[in-house]
């Protein structure tokens, strides 16, 4: 019947009614598209606010200042926002709250009702259709809010917080200006509550040494720093915590000249030694006069005390308990680049040179004192033959110990052994310490020369 009547002429009234229903149907689709687009835009705005919040909070002030000096657009505004966290957070919360209210209103009152009517037209009961429509819309919008409004924007902010902060700072500054009265009220109220609870004073952001070491390890892992560079930076940082006695050459290893000695003895020292500078004393080694350059002796034919006295150059006296970095500043001002290290009792302990400081940073050179053989020798049975002069950092690395504190009482393996024995140990004596058995293998006078370390 339908096929036959389709060929009959249609009345103008019926045609107008069909046209009216078609217009309503098209209008419904247009409104639905607008509402869905509005919800998506609100979700993206929520994501922008969440990304801005995390980016500004996660950004390091030092990096933002570097970007500002480089002329990066938005860096100055990002620094300003980071300096006023109360105002910035109030702005973000106002935006997120408004977005949440509008999104909730549209999801329940418009899209949910529209989907419920569609379910009713499909034959579902009215109560069930309304629950299904609103529930489905809320579920989908919640999912989009989590993905597009929270997770993805925050991951983008964490991937490059400073760059993101510079890009969003102008937008956040405009939003903060537009909502200034409400932002001021919220900021004032928040600070008042913090003042009441006693937490209004913000702790200054401090970078700890442990954080720097962690950052260096991450830089090495990512390939920004080479392993050698990381170790050098570690040593430089520890240089400021180490006393100068930990990097000096002890007096027992120093070739010195005595003005009171006869010429043959001084000549023998000069002939056998390979150094370019020699500390000079008169009669007792604690009475140091200064330093003589080897090149100044080339044209000397008379090595009498009077002639040598004329060649002595003054050298700075460095207290043994000052930091190694402080000693660097003293050496920089000395033309002989050598310091005479004394303890508080006026006893000469050794010398420190620019080469000693450099070795403390980059490690021992092949021509360094007592480096005719390796300081750490691994044996077939798993034990280690260690030099007594092995420095603290190298000792802890060889034995896989954590680095000692900045106030460690020993600076070498020999110092550790004397500390544990509470005396100068004899050859073949042993002691167990931190899972290792240490046996004294060789001594050079009172100086501990070799120690055998075996896993206990």
Q: In terms of pLDDT, which residue wins out, 117 or 278?
A: 278
pLDDT confidence tier of residue 408, bands split at 50, 70 and 90: low
E-assigned strands of 206-347?
249-250, 257-258, 277-282, 284-293, 317-319, 338-342
Residue-level pLDDT at 432: 92
Q: What is this structure's pTM?
A: 0.55
Of 140 and 347, the one with more pLDDT: 347
Residue 114 has pLDDT above 80, yes or no: no
**With bands split at pLDDT 50, 70 and 90, how would you rate the model's confidence at 119?**
confident
Mean pLDDT value across residues 155-171: 87
Residue 140 confidence (pLDDT): 81
Encoded tokens for 126: 């009215």
Question: Which one, of 59, 67, 38, 78, lies nearest residue 171 by Cα?
Answer: 78
* φ, ψ for residue 340, nearest 5 deg: -95, 115
Res. 171: pLDDT tops 70? yes
For residue 428, pLDDT over 50 is answered with yes
Confidence of residue 318 (pLDDT cuts 50, 70, 90): very high
* Domain 376-455 CATH class label: alpha beta
d(CA 327, CA 342): 12
How much is the average pLDDT of 67-80?
Answer: 85
Mean pLDDT of 239-265: 82
Residue 322 tokens read as 């000052």
Q: Specify the pLDDT at position 20.
A: 42
Q: What is the pLDDT of residue 13?
A: 44
Confidence of residue 308 (pLDDT cuts 50, 70, 90): confident
When pLDDT is cut at 50, 70 and 90, the band that residue 341 belongs to is very high
With a cut of 90, say whether residue 291 has pLDDT above it. yes
Q: What is the pLDDT of residue 368?
A: 45
Over residues 9-62, the pLDDT tens digits come to 444 544 444 344 445 446 666 776 777 778 788 888 888 888 888 888 888 887
Lowest-confidence region among 10-14, 36-40, 170-174, 347-351? 10-14
pLDDT on residue 451: 93
Q: What is the dihedral of CA 385, 388, 393, 394, to 10 degrees?
A: -30
Backbone φ and ψ for 103, nearest 5 degrees, come out as -65, -40
What percent of the chain clears pLDDT 70, i.e. is strictly above it? 83
For the chain, domain boundaries = 11-197, 209-238, 244-362, 376-455
What local confidence, expressed as pLDDT, does residue 235 receive?
Answer: 80
pLDDT at 336 exceeding the cut of 80? yes
- Is pLDDT at 411 greater than 70 in this prediction? yes
User: How many Å apart are CA 350 and CA 390, to the nearest integer?
Assistant: 17
What the block records as the tokens of 50 is: 């969440």
* Residue 315: pLDDT band with limits 50, 70, 90: very high
Q: Give the integer Cα–Cα distance in Å for 349 and 317.
A: 11
Q: Rounded to the nearest 5°, which phi and psi values hold at 423?
A: -170, 175
How are beta strands 338-342 and 317-319 bridged, if at all? parallel
Supply the CATH classification number for the domain 244-362. Answer: 3.10.580.10
pLDDT for 303: 66
Mean pLDDT of 92-119: 73
Please give the residue that has the higher pLDDT: either 149 or 205.
149
**Overall average pLDDT of the 419-439 stretch:** 91
Distance CA 30, CA 406 (A): 72
CA distance 96 to 86: 15
What per-residue confidence (pLDDT) applies to 205? 52
Interhelix angle for 12-58 vs 161-178, to 10°?
A: 120
Q: How many CB atoms lie within 10 A of CB 375?
A: 19
Tell me the per-residue pLDDT of 361-401, one tens digit each, with 9 for 90 and over.
877 665 544 444 678 888 888 899 998 888 777 788 888 88
């Amino acid at each position: 019947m339908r096929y036959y009547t389709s060929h009959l002429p249609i009345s103008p009234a019926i045609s107008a009614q069909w046209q009216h229903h078609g217009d309503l149907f098209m209008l419904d689709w247009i409104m639905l598209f607008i509402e869905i687009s509005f919800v998506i835009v609100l979700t993206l705005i929520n994501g922008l606010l969440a990304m801005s919040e995390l980016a500004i909070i996660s950004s390091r002030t030092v990096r933002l200042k570097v970007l500002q000096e480089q002329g990066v657009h938005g860096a100055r505004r990002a620094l300003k926002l980071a300096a006023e966290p109360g105002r910035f957070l109030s702005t973000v919360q106002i935006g997120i709250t408004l977005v949440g209210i509008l999104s909730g209103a549209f999801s329940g009152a418009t899209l949910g009702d529209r989907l419920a009517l569609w379910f009713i037209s499909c034959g579902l009961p009215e109560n069930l259709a309304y629950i299904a429509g609103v529930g489905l819309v809320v579920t989908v919008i919640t999912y989009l809010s989590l993905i597009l409004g929270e997770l993805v924007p925050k991951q983008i902010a964490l991937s490059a917080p400073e760059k993101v902060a510079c890009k969003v700072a102008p937008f956040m500054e405009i939003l903060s200006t537009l909502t200034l009265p409400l932002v001021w009220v919220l900021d004032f109220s928040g600070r008042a509550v913090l003042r009441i609870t006693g937490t209004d004073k913000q702790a200054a952001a401090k970078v700890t040494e442990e954080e720097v070491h962690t950052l260096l390890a991450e830089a090495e892992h990512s390939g920004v720093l080479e392993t050698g560079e990381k170790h050098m930076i570690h040593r430089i940082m520890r240089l400021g915590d180490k006393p100068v006695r930990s990097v000096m050459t002890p007096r027992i290893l120093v070739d010195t000249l005595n003005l009171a000695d006869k010429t043959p003895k001084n000549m023998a020292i000069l002939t056998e030694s390979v150094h370019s500078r020699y500390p000079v004393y008169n009669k007792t080694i604690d009475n140091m006069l200064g330093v003589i350059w080897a090149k100044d002796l080339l044209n000397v034919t008379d090595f009498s005390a009077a002639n040598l006295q004329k060649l002595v150059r003054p050298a700075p006296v460095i207290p043994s308990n000052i930091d190694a970095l402080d000693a660097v500043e003293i050496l920089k001002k000395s033309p002989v680049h050598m310091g005479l290290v004394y303890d508080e009792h006026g006893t000469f302990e050794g010398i420190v040179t620019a080469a000693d400081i450099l070795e403390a940073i980059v490690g021992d050179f092949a021509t360094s004192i007592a480096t005719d053989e390796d300081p750490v020798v691994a044996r077939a049975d798993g034990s280690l033959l260690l030099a007594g002069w092995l420095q603290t950092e190298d000792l802890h690395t060889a034995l896989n110990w954590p680095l000692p504190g900045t106030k460690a009482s020993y600076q070498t393996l020999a110092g550790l052994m004397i500390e544990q024995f509470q005396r100068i140990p004899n050859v073949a004596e042993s002691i167990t310490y931190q899972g290792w058995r240490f046996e004294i293998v060789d001594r050079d006078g009172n100086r501990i020369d070799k120690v055998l370390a075996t896993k206990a």
